[in-house]
A and B are shown apart, each in its own frame.
Chain A
Amino acid sequence: MTLNLNERLAADLDASFAALVREHEAAVYTTALRVTGRRHRAEDIAAESFEKAYNALRGYSRERIAALQLRPWLVTITLNAWRNELRRESRRPSLAPLDPSWDAPDDGMSPEDAVLAAESTRRLARLVAGLPERYRVPLVLRHVVGMSYAEIARALSCPEGTVKAQVSRALQRLHEHLAERPALEAG
């Protein structure tokens, strides 16, 4: 009889926590990266979120663990960690610029196209990071992390309808920004 991850966490947290990390590290990290727009903070926030998750799980009953919806729960922790970070930073003005400086994955494109694609993705990342938080967060969770509206509503503790409206507005805004300067589209 194979147990699912929730059952394994409930039965033996220490033995299965690594599996939890591996299954959700991309989602947690992507959330941190795309809502903060800051690569150098994203890893810390993501690691801190898993640590908080571990400490929380240690105190939960087996029933509570079995019933957890892991991805929305982890995303909630990540967003809280990010907001705490912002509050700390607002007391000390941060000099670090928005910095999504990484290379887009190479899908076997030609070098020229790869450069163009990377620049185009960087531009999109900057635009996303520049959206107001109430649009940025649902947009990232829906179209970057790939969560369902139900999951997002749970993670943000707000109605699905609101989430849908925010995602829709976010997409409109991005489309408008991108339409202003179409020069850097890759093939």
Chain B
Amino acid sequence: MGRGERGVVARLGALAAASPEGFSERVLERVGLARDRYAVVDHLSEPVYVAYDDAGVSFVRAVRHVGDAHAFERAFADHFGREVRRADALPPDVAAALRDGRARGVRLDPAGLSDFERSVLRKTLDIPRGEVRTYAWVAGEIGRPRAVRAVGSALGRNPVPILLPCHRVVRSDGSIGEYVAGAGMKRSLLAREGAPVDEVERLGRAGIRFLGSDTTHVFCVPSCRHARRVSPAHLVAFARADVAARRGYRPCRHCRPVPLATGR
């Protein structure tokens, strides 16, 4: 190659071009792979990122926990290995489910979870707003009464906190326990939902696991709405479910304080 031609070769390099801005996103749209979107919404005065696709909500993170939008997009990409694009607003059904706490209407898509983890997370949907249940309760309800620690780990891997209310699961001794976005956030979410956090902690410290009514002879977990309606004069406290049973109390059908027929 002569010198002149070497000069041409050097200049030809300048003809290399980067693809236009947004090109890869347009390609992915074209082949139907860019369906992930997210929006920022306020949930009980707590701003959260909610990501979703046609199958439902896939990923939720509190802004205070994950940081700016860029950080959220990175967290999503780390979790799913694909990109998510910002939308101006949530689809109406997703927004309604978040607002009303009726996550049942939304198809949840916790990808990358084991069957056990999925059962644990779905079970949290059975805990009404304003109430809490224990890790042991969750374990019993899904038929794995010995897997209490595994329940804790599974809840820690919740990709859609708030929508799947893992914050409503507390320790058997009444203490708040852990939370994927920090115990402080767990406490404030519960407080805003009207759950009797302080009372549950106080009762727990005193070894009280169940509350009953001496008029109905029904016993409940302390935060159950039925227990909270019992007037102080008729309130009975139990440390153990088998003691309550022997005294003729039956378990509440709403909160199901004992997982199986026999108490613990």
Contact = CB atoms under 8 A, between A and B. Distances in A.
A99 interface: no
Contact of A145 (B16, B28, B33): B16
A179 B14 contact: no
Contacts of A104: 14
Nearest to B27: A50
Contact of A124 (B4, B12, B16, B20): B12
Given A51-B30, A143-B9, A178-B8, A25 B15 contact: no
A160 B24 CA distance: 32
A125 interface: yes
Contacts of B12: 124, 128, 139, 143-144, 174
Main secondary structure of the interface of A (DSSP, over half): helix
A15 B82 contact: yes
B27 A143 contact: no
User: Which label, helix, strand, loop or mixed, suits the secondary structure of the B interface?
Assistant: helix
B13 A144 contact: yes
Contacts of A14: 33
Interface string A1-45: 000000000000011111001100110111001100000000100
A168 interface: yes
A175 interface: yes
Interface string A151-171: 000000000000000001001
B81 interface: yes
A29 B17 contact: yes
Name the residue in B2, B4, B8 with the highest tally of chain A Cβ atoms < 10 Å from its Cβ: B8
Contact of B16 (A30, A43, A54, A102): A30
Contacts of B26: 47
A15 B33 CA distance: 9
B233 interface: no
Interface in B20-42: 20, 23-24, 26-28, 30-31, 33
Interface in A75-122: 102, 104-105, 117, 120-121
Contacts of B19: 25-26, 28-29, 43, 46
Nearest to B18: A26
B15 A124 contact: yes
A102 B12 CA distance: 15
Given A25-B24, A47-B26, A51-B31, A124 B11 contact: yes
A175 B16 contact: no
B16 A18 contact: no
B88 interface: no
A172 B5 CA distance: 7
Contacts of A125: 15
Contacts of B15: 30, 34, 121, 124-125, 128, 140, 144
B31 A144 contact: no
B27 A15 contact: no
A175 B5 contact: yes
Given A51-B27, A139-B12, A30 B1 contact: no
B28 A21 contact: yes
Contacts of B20: 29, 43
A125 B16 CA distance: 10
Contacts of A124: 11-12, 14-15
Contacts of B83: 18
Nearest to B81: A15
Interface of B: 1-2, 4-5, 7-9, 11-20, 23-24, 26-28, 30-31, 33, 81-83
Interface of A: 14-18, 21-22, 25-26, 28-30, 33-34, 43, 46-47, 50-51, 54-55, 102, 104-105, 117, 120-121, 124-125, 128, 139-140, 143-146, 168, 171-172, 174-175, 178-179
6 contacts: A29-B19, A50-B31, A146-B13, A171-B9, A175-B2, A175-B4
Given A26-B16, A55-B31, 15 more contacts: A21-B24, A26-B17, A28-B19, A29-B19, A43-B19, A50-B31, A144-B12, A146-B16, A171-B5, A172-B5, A175-B2, A175-B4, A175-B5, A175-B8, A179-B4
